[in-house]
Amino acid sequence: MQKTRLESLPVSRVRDTSEVIAGRPGAPSGLVVALGLVLAVFLVWELLTRLLAVPVYILPAPSRILQTLAQNGQVYLEASLLTLGEAALGLVLGATAGTGIALLLGLWPRLEQGVMTLAILIKSTPLVAVAPLLTIWLGFGVLPKIIITGLLTFFPVLVNMLSGLNTADPARLDTLRSWHASRWELLRFVRLPESLPYFFAALKVSGPLALIGAVVAEWTGASGGLGRLMWLAYTNLNLPYLFSAVFILSTAGILIYSGIQWVERKLVFWEG
Q: Which of 8, 18, 49, 135 binds another protein (CB under 8 A)?
A: 135
Residues in Cβ contact with 221 at an 8 Å cutoff, skipping those fewer than 6 apart: 131, 132, 135, 140
Q: How far is the CB of 171 from another protein (least distance, A)?
A: 4
Separation between Cα atoms, residue 270 and residue 265, nearest integer Å:
9
Does residue 60 belong to the site contacting another protein (CB under 8 A)? Answer: no
Separation between Cα atoms, residue 218 and residue 189, nearest integer Å:
41
Residues in Cβ contact with 159 at an 8 Å cutoff, skipping those fewer than 6 apart: 4, 7, 8, 202
Q: How far is the CB of 235 from another protein (least distance, A)?
A: 6
Q: Which of 237, 250, 255, 262 binds another protein (CB under 8 A)?
A: 237
Q: Which of 155, 231, 243, 257 binds another protein (CB under 8 A)?
A: 231
- Subset of 179-198 contacting another protein (CB under 8 A): 179-181, 185, 189-190, 193, 196
Q: Which stretch binds another protein (CB under 8 A): 19-27, 43-51, 83-91, 100-108?
A: 83-91
Distances 198 to 63, 147, 212, 264 between C-alpha atoms, Å: 40, 23, 22, 10
Residue 78: which of 239, 268, 224, 250 has the closest Cα?
224
Phi and psi at residue 194, in whole multiples of 5°?
-70, -20
Between 79 and 119, CB nearer to another protein: 79
Q: How far is the CB of 155 from another protein (least distance, A)?
A: 24
Q: Which of 69, 82, 119, 161 binds another protein (CB under 8 A)?
A: 82
Does residue 140 belong to the site contacting another protein (CB under 8 A)? Answer: yes
Residue 114: which of 101, 99, 97 has the closest Cα?
101
Helices 73-107 and 62-71: crossing angle in degrees, nearest 10, is 100
Between 104 and 232, CB nearer to another protein: 232
Footprint on this chain of another protein (rule: CB under 8 A):
55, 57-58, 72, 75, 78, 81-82, 84-85, 88-89, 132, 135-136, 140-142, 169, 171-172, 174-181, 185, 189-190, 193, 196, 219-221, 223-224, 229, 231-233, 235-238, 241, 269-271
